[in-house]
Structure 1
Amino acid sequence: MKKLIKRANEMYTKRRYKIVDMIAVKGLFLPLMAVFLIGCSQKDTDAGRNTAYEKSTLPTEQKIGFENIKSLNEDAFAWLYIPGTDINYPILQDSEGDDSFYKSHNEYKEPDENGAIHIEAANLNDMCDFNEVIYGSSPKDGTGFAQLNNFLDKEYFDEHKYVHVYMEDNSLIYYIIAAYIRDDTKLLAQYDFTYASGCMEFINEIYRKGDDSKIIRDGCETGLEPEHFLITLTTDSTDEPGKQTVVIGCLMGDVAGKIDRDVDYGDEDDINIQAEW
């Protein structure tokens, strides 16, 4: 059993480390598509970060789509794209804090039973939370997040590795590390990601064995820590009604070097956190 969190005697916080370490140490290499693997170390100057972003190339289709929708709806804060799939949509967050709004309205704020791709108010729209949970429905026509269910097929999972998130001032890339079916509970209500203990509980869920639906990327069977940044895409399971399919990625590309946070290890009751696998 690998111990991920060191014992401590009092509350402390810990700065995250370089975002690519878990992947790089496994010998995995990313074809960058002009996305630089940049950490957020203090030695990086603001000018250097801006230059890196200016040198990155946002695909024209996504750039135009994002600019168009944002001009019509300020709730759109990013664009989500998974190469090789039809998942290619704006990400929204209701400015009034109504988490149910985009379940029944599209990106133009029009009534739509299929809703839109969105996050809840409990998540930061700067993508700096430990786990950004992005919701979408699974319409029968295959739009929305319906294709997330394809990731439960090992061959499909192996062929699709990256999630891109484009923002006004940054470009992010996540390495898809896991996909599985879970109970239809709200992750942000089930786990308190503001503390390392809550992050670790979710990490334990990812690595917990005994689930036949679960697929873990080769080389990523261990190594996640609360200092990482995850993205969880979730939708209704088509294989098991009443449950949800999740596809989880770990941040490995942050062009502008803006993704950062403090990790709070809480009081002494939260200190002895261990991996369960």
Structure 2
Amino acid sequence: MVKKVIRIVALIICLVIIVYEGVMIYVDQKEYQVASDEYDEIRSVAVDYIPEDEAEIVDYPVLNINFGKLEEINPDVTAWIYFPCLEISYPVVKESEVDEYLYKTFELEKNKAGCIFEDVMSDAGFNGYHDIVFGHNMKDKSMFGRLKDLYQKGNESLLEDNPYIYIYTKDHVYQYRVFAYYITKVGSGAYSVVSNLDEYKDFISFIQTHSAYKIPSDLDLESGNSILTLSTCSGRAGGSQRFVVHSLKVNAWEK
């Protein structure tokens, strides 16, 4: 009799857990959809993608970013990031305190999807030795959820076809060449604050010893050109594992 009661209690507990997890998954998915709709709306009102055959002849994708409109929505906006080969295209804000935008969207709404945000120690104009941009690893591949595609088997040609990330600011367009990526942990050397050329060289050495991607031999990694790092979670939710992508600024154009 006692064993039967224990089995019934255990079954009830299991059912409660299943129902609870199902409800939480539904709530999360609903919240993520709200965030996805928000960013779709932002793209529709603030960004014009100009077809190549209609654009003026330039060396970068022509995106007309309405920074006036973006600033009306959120004055913390500093740039728009565009990573063509992974179809990543989002506004970027600059946090004024650590993790300020971890669970807050561009429209300042509380949401687990958060925002694409620049590290508090990075240069707002993307001219530091090392600037870092964070985004969530979303299961639906929104935000920085597509970064993991870089190291998945069968995707080796992604960066061969188009290895560039573009940062659009009010006055400039910056082109970065992806040259390294790897899985790391919170607080590792991948997040180094770099303030001089000696620290820059040490940072390059760290990257070279950790990269899972063959670093292109034709890049000048000695002159101190700005490095842009994209960072997202990797592995189990809530863990300390991270996936980072390092890129080197190779071109800059005034608008």
Q: TM-score, normalised by structure 1?
A: 0.63
1:253 to 243, 247, 251: 251
1:82: which partner in 2?
Answer: 83
Q: Distance in 2 between matches of 1:249 and 1:233?
A: 8
Partner Cα separation in structure 1 for residue 167 and residue 180 of structure 2: 18
Structure 2 unaligned regions, length at least 5: 1-55
Who is 1:242 aligned against? Answer: 240
State whether residues 85 and 159 of structure 2, in contact with CA within 8 Å, keep that contact through their aligned partners in structure 1: no
| 1:264 aligned residue | none
The alignment's C-alpha RMSD in Å is 2.7
Cα displacement (A) at 1:227: 1.8
1:219 is aligned to 217
Which digits, 9 at most, give the CA deviation of each residue in 1:128-156, with x for residues without a partner?
10111111111111111011111124233
Q: Distance in 1 between matches of 2:62 and 2:196?
A: 34
Q: Any gaps of 5 or more consecutive residues in structure 1?
A: 1-31, 36-55, 258-277
Deviation at 1:238, TM superposition (A): 4.0
Deviation of 1:164 after TM superposition, in Å, equals: 0.6
Say whether residues 1:103 and 2:102 are aligned partners.
yes
Measure the CA separation in 1 of the matches of 2:184 and 2:157: 20
Give the CA deviation at 1:67.
4.4
- Relative to its length, the structure with more helix (as a share) is 2
Structure 1 SS opposite 2:205: helix
Alpha-carbon distance between aligned partners in 2 of 1:101 and 1:246, rounded to the nearest angstrom: 20
Q: What letter matches 2:72 in structure 1?
A: S
Within 5 Å, give how 1:135-214 maps onto structure 2.
135-153=134-152, 154-185=156-187, 191-208=192-209, 214=212
Which has the higher relative contact order, 1 or 2, with Cα contacts under 8 A spaced 6 or more apart?
A: 1
Per-residue deviation at 1:226? 5.3
Name the counterpart of 1:4.
Answer: none
Name the structure with the higher strand share: 2
1:26 aligned residue: none
Structure 1 SS opposite 2:195: coil
Contact 2:189 2:206 in 1 (8 A): no
- Is this contact kept in 2: 1:175–1:252, CA < 8 A? yes
Q: Which moved more, 1:152-161 or 1:196-205?
A: 152-161
Relative to structure 1, the CA distance from residue 57 to residue 207 in structure 2 (aligned partners, 3 Å threshold; closer, same or farther) is closer
Contact 1:200 1:226 survives alignment (8 Å): no
8 Å Cα contact 1:73-1:107 kept in structure 2? yes
Query: Who wins on radius of gyration, i.e. which is larger?
Result: 2
Pick the aligned partner of 1:58 from 56, 59, 62: 62
C-alpha displacement of 1:86 = 2.7
Tell me if structure 2 keeps the 8 A contact 1:199–1:226: no
Q: Tell me by how many angstroms 1:175 deviates.
A: 1.1
Match of 1:123 in 2: 122
What's the counterpart of residue 112 of structure 1?
111
Q: How does 1:257-272 map to 2 (within 5 A)?
A: none
Q: Which residue is equivalent to 2:93?
A: 92
Displacement, 1:83? 0.9
| Amino acid in the other structure paired with 2:230 | L
Identity %: 19
Paired position in structure 1 for 2:3: none
Offset at residue 70 of structure 1 (A): 2.2
- Which of 225, 228, 231 is equivalent to 1:228? 225
Whole-Å separation in 1 of the counterparts to 2:103 and 2:144: 15
